[in-house]
């Protein structure tokens, strides 16, 4: 009986596996989300200045104007995808509070 398709089936390539079947119970499994999108009400908007932006590393750092706290932000937080924030540029950023720490989720031009 031939179980594979294509070349190199004798080496273990080209075999098919059926996808897992959903459970018969009425509860559907929800896919896990690594970073859940925060609700707009939970966002706190503040102003700051970019300290460093590294597009090659997909991250940046900014300093809050009031508290002088330094926060990092991912490249995905930048709202205008064609914009690259320069050093010392004023920005508005949105953050959420998680486990007593602030996490930047949005960055836009001031």
pLDDT in tens, 20-44: 777 766 555 555 545 566 777 778 8
**Number of separate domains in the chain:** 1
Instruction: Report yes or no on 90 lying in a domain.
Output: yes
Runs of H (alpha helix) within 1-110: none
Instruction: Give SS3 for 9.
Output: helix
Instruction: Report yes or no on 74 lying in a domain.
Output: yes
**What is the span of the domain harbouring residue 97?**
40-109
pLDDT in tens, 59-68: 999 999 999 9
Enter the tokens of residue 106. 């949005």
Instruction: Report yes or no on 27 lying in a domain.
Output: no
pTM: 0.63
Cα separation, 76 vs 59, in Å, equals: 9
35: buried, middle or exposed (CB in 10 Å: 19+, 13-18, 0-12)? Answer: exposed
Instruction: Report yes or no on 13 lying in a domain.
Output: no
CB–CB of 98/71 below 8 Å?
A: no
The CATH number covering residue 91 comes to: 2.40.50.140
Instruction: Report yes or no on 61 lying in a domain.
Output: yes
């Amino acid at each position: 009986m031939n179980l594979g398709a294509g070349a190199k089936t004798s080496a273990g390539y080209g075999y098919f596996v059926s996808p897992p079947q959903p459970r018969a119970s009425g509860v559907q499994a929800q896919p896990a989300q690594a970073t859940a999108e925060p609700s707009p009400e939970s966002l706190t908007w503040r102003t700051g200045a970019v300290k460093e932006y590294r597009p090659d590393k997909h991250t940046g750092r900014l300093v809050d104007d009031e508290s002088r706290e330094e926060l990092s932000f991912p490249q995905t937080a930048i709202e205008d995808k064609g914009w690259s924030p320069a050093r010392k540029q004023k920005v508005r950023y949105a953050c959420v509070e998680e486990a007593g720490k602030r996490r930047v989720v949005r960055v836009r031009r001031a």
